[in-house]
Amino acid sequence: AASPTAMGCGAGGRGRLLLTVAAVLTLLTRPPGSWGARIIGGHQVTPHSRPYMASVRFKGEHFCGGFLLRARWVVSAAHCFRDRDPRADLVVLGAHALRVAEPTQQVLGVSAVVSHPDYQPATHANDICLLGGGLNSSAVLGPAVGLLKLPRSGARPPRAGTLCRVAGWGSVSDFEDQPPGLMEAEVRVLGLDACNRSWTGRLKPAMLCTHSEDSQRRGFCSADSGGPLVCRNRAHGLVSFSGLWCGDPKTPDVYTQVSAFVSWIWDVVRQRPHGPQPSPPGVPAGAA
C-alpha cells in the first residue's frame, strides 16, 4: 500500500521531484484524457458560489485551504502549520481566481494557530486546527464571504454512498498544474472499514473517506489540505491525506471527521472570543 501523503504544500523539493519522476516513468501507461483533470475529476465552480472557502498563503503563495466558521475564525488542517510561524501567513477570503486582484477579496493576518492538543503528525490523527486574525482582522460578511455550518457535535458521519463535494485551489494534476479558479469535485463517502482495508489498517476512528465510485479519478490533490468536505451543506470533513497519485481509488482520500471535534472547536471559540492570542514563532498555539 502507498504511504499517506499530506495534501498541504508538499513534502518539499525532494518529494515533488520523486513525484515528477514517477509520473514521467508512467506516462506511457496512462489512459488518454487522464491529464489535467480538474481538482481531480472536477470542475470550476461559479465564481463566489462557495463563499466560505479560504485560501491560506505563505509568503504570497497559496499552500492550504480552509473554511470560514466565524468572522474571526477559519478551520483548517493542523499539518499545514507544523514548524511554521503563523505571523507569516495570510488568509484570503472572497476569492475565485487567486492570481487576480478581485475586488471581493479580503486579506487577513493570522495571529495564531490553535492546533488540536492530540494532533499526531505520524498518523494524521486529530488533524484539525483553528486560525484567526488579530482584533482588527475580522471578515466582513457579504455575497462573496460567508460562513459554513458544522455538523452536530458527535453526529455520525454521512452514510457510505452519500454524495458530497470537495473544493480547493490545489493542483489539478499530478504535475501540480495550477487551477484557473476555485475547483470542486463530487465524491461519495466510503465506509471506514472498507477504506481502512485499502490503507492496511492505518486509519483512526475520527477519520472519513471518499472515493469516486467509478473508474474516473476524482478527489483532492496537493495544496487542497484543510478544505472542507461538504455534505448536506455542512462541513463534515477536512482534507487530510491521500496516496501518491491524486484521486487514486486504490488509496481513497482521507479527511478529518469534523463532528468528532465540534465540542473542542466551540470551546476554543468561546474561550477566545476576539480571536487567538499570538503564539511564539514556529510554535502553533495548543500544539502538543
Write out pLDDT tens, residues 106-146.
Answer: 999 988 899 999 999 999 999 999 998 664 578 999 999 99
Residue 97 predicted with pLDDT over 70: yes
Indicate if 79 belongs to the active site. Answer: yes
Of 250, 175, 253, nearest to 208 (Cα)? 253
Give all domains of the chain, ordered by start, each with its CATH number.
Answer: 35-45+150-259 (2.40.10.10), 53-147+261-271 (2.40.10.10)
Q: How far apart are CA 175 and CA 26, in angstroms?
A: 12
Catalytic option among 89, 127, 174, 224: 127
Catalytic option among 76, 212, 225, 240: 225
**∠ at Cα 165 (159, 166), nearest 5°?**
120
What pTM did the predictor assign? 0.82
Buried b (16+ CB within 10 A) or exposed e, 65-79: bbbbbbbbbbbbbbb
Indicate if 193 belongs to the active site. Answer: no
Write out pLDDT tens, residues 181-210.
Answer: 999 999 999 999 999 999 999 999 999 999
Residue 11 predicted with pLDDT over 80: no
Q: How far apart are CA 165 and CA 87, in angstroms?
A: 31
Indicate if 225 belongs to the active site. Answer: yes
pLDDT over 70 for what percent of the chain?
Answer: 78
Catalytic option among 55, 62, 76, 79: 79
